[in-house]
């Protein structure tokens, strides 16, 4: 078993309590402890492993090895689910999406951590220092209850990526002003103030064909104004649609209201339909791949890095590649700001958004020795020094004292949008039926995105499916 604890020196396999007597003083023998972790393969987890290998020194004096299994995002849930349900007990640690908590807690795979938090004042203080939106999303099951299962590993939000060479071009600025009687957002502060109406105008304005001019240059390929995830895989349209639904005053099924809260009448309410229609309206200004149902977060990110889009809304977790000239044609042309929102009659912008990011979760078969070292690692990872290094390396921190420090916004160009995004974050379901809810919803959203059915039909179908499923599960009466 790859997750086993190995013992070196005078310790024997039969007894981890072996000791060495020298000069009348008893010393506990050092152990080698291996923690095996499943993680999605992307920059935040690669940075974590690099920091561990280069810097981590366990306070226990033991030798701790972190054996990381990097799994591509599209396969991540399938691989983790297969491992857990097979009974192989391979992983001690999993960087889990928050939505998986219910299914894997009820399945007996994820360990509750309240006892670990309560027994360690330092760890408890760290958890209490988290932004509540992050703590509720990543740690709690049932959602927003004081039952904790996860330690935040990488918090994430959606932000706007922009091409400042295009957006700030004087000719484009003048033409945009003439057409829409508003300023084309160019600086981070101007993008922060952007609503969906302006975002739509950016999409329409920058629809250019090969041979057209863009910022004074003749295009050798088609160019598009905007991109935003709309893929059939995993949650790559749910994360977008939820934000529009919430901002328009609609809703998703709310597990905190179980068993009296319903899906029908909420998921397909007039406001929810209005929100989805708003999202669908923007698709015509995106690259044509969106109509195939395959424009997930990776495709939209690649299109932006290839210089084919003026603005892209995507997770911070993918942003590091945009800064690297080896992977980005626009590395020196970037500007970042808040994701757009819906402007209300009072002029205020509602930016309620689906939260991203993941927690660390311990598995129930992890041994006491491994748990001790895992908690030590988590405390080190969440320490202010390492969290600042993580942010400086492209990650994010949900610890208030870290992200509220003025130096935080100097680490990466998107960090200026981080703190102001947190209060707007909400999460989807944590219930064991998550994957069934998500899969059916993604299938229905895809029919709308690819033009096969309208928003009302889509949400009516989703609402009925969810109502029936959750009634059968006893979560709706």
Domain ranges of the chain: 5-156+357-426, 158-354
Q: Which CATH superfamily is domain 5-156+357-426 in?
A: Periplasmic binding protein-like II (3.40.190.10)
List, in order, residues 6 or more apart from 468 with CB less than 8 Å away. Answer: none
pLDDT (tens digit per residue) in 395-454: 999 999 999 999 999 999 999 999 999 999 999 999 999 999 999 999 999 999 999 999
Which residue has better confidence, 88 or 18? Answer: 88
Dist. CA 321–CA 430, nearest whole Å: 30
Confidence category of residue 19, pLDDT binned at 50, 70, 90: very low
Q: Across the chain, which distance is largest between two alpha carbons, in Å?
A: 87
Q: Which CATH superfamily is domain 158-354 in?
A: Periplasmic binding protein-like II (3.40.190.10)
The predicted pLDDT at position 30 comes to 74
Statement: the pTM of the whole predicted model exceeds 0.75: yes
Which residue has better confidence, 123 or 3? Answer: 123
List, in order, residues 6 or more apart from 294 with CB less than 8 Å away. Answer: 231, 232, 233
In 90-184, beta strands by DSSP E = 93-95, 150-156, 158-163
pLDDT (tens digit per residue) in 82-141: 999 999 999 999 999 999 999 999 999 999 999 999 999 999 999 999 999 999 999 999
Q: Do 5-156+357-426 and 158-354 have matching folds?
A: yes
The SS3 assignment for 371 reads helix
Q: If you average pLDDT over residues 47-72, what whole number do you get? A: 97
Model confidence at 7: pLDDT above 70: no
Token pair recorded at residue 48: 């974590």
Dist. CA 31–CA 208, nearest whole Å: 63
pLDDT (tens digit per residue) in 138-193: 999 999 999 999 999 999 999 999 999 999 999 999 999 999 999 999 999 999 99
DSSP conformation class of 45: H
Q: Half-sphere exposure (CA, 13 Å, Cβ side) for 101?
A: 29
The predicted pLDDT at position 29 comes to 56
Token pair recorded at residue 281: 């309206």
Model confidence at 13: pLDDT above 50: no
């Amino acid at each position: 078993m790859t997750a086993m604890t190995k013992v070196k020196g005078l310790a024997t396999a039969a007894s981890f309590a072996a000791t060495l007597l020298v000069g009348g003083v008893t010393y506990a023998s050092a152990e080698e402890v291996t923690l095996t972790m499943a993680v999605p393969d992307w920059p935040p987890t690669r940075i974590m492993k690099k920091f561990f290998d280069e810097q981590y020194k366990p306070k226990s004096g033991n030798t701790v090895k972190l054996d990381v299994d990097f799994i591509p995002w599209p396969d991540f849930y399938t691989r983790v689910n297969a491992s857990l349900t097979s009974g192989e007990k391979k992983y001690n640690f999993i960087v889990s999406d928050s939505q998986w908590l219910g299914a894997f807690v009820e399945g007996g795979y994820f360990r509750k951590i309240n006892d670990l938090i309560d027994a360690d004042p330092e760890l408890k203080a760290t958890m209490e220092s988290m932004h509540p939106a992050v703590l509720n999303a990543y740690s709690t099951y049932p959602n927003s209850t004081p039952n904790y299962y996860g330690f935040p590993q990488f918090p994430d939000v959606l932000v706007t990526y922009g091409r400042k060479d295009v957006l700030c071009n004087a000719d484009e600025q003048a033409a945009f002003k003439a057409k829409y009687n508003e300023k084309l957002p160019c600086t981070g502060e101007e993008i922060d103030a952007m609503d969906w109406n302006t975002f739509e105008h950016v999409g329409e304005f920058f629809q250019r064909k090969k041979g057209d001019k863009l910022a004074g240059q003749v295009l050798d390929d088609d160019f598009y104004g905007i991109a935003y995830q709309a893929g059939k895989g995993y949650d790559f349209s749910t994360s977008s649609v939820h934000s529009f639904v919430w901002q328009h005053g609609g809703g998703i099924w709310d597990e905190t209201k179980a068993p009296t809260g319903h899906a029908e009448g909420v998921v397909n309410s007039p406001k929810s339909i209005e929100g989805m229609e708003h999202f669908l309206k923007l698709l015509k200004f995106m690259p044509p791949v969106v109509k195939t149902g395959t424009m997930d977060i990776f495709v939209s990110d690649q299109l932006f890095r290839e210089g084919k889009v003026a603005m892209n809304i995507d997770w911070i977790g993918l942003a590091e590649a945009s800064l690297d000239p080896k992977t980005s044609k626009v590395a020196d042309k970037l500007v970042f700001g808040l994701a757009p929102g819906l402007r209300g009659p009072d002029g205020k912008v509602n930016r309620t958004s689906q939260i991203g990011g993941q927690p660390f979760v311990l598995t129930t078969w992890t041994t006491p020795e491994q748990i001790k070292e895992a908690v030590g690692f988590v405390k080190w990872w969440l320490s202010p020094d390492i969290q600042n290094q993580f942010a400086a390396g492209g990650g994010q921190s949900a610890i208030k004292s870290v992200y509220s420090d003025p130096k935080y916004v100097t680490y990466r160009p998107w960090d200026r949008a981080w703190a102001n995004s947190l209060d707007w974050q909400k999460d989807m379901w944590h219930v064991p039926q998550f994957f069934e809810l998500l899969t059916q919803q993604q299938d229905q959203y895809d029919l709308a995105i690819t033009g096969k059915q309208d928003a009302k039909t889509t949400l009516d179908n989703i609402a009925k499916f969810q109502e029936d499923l959750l009634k059968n599960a006893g979560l709706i009466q």
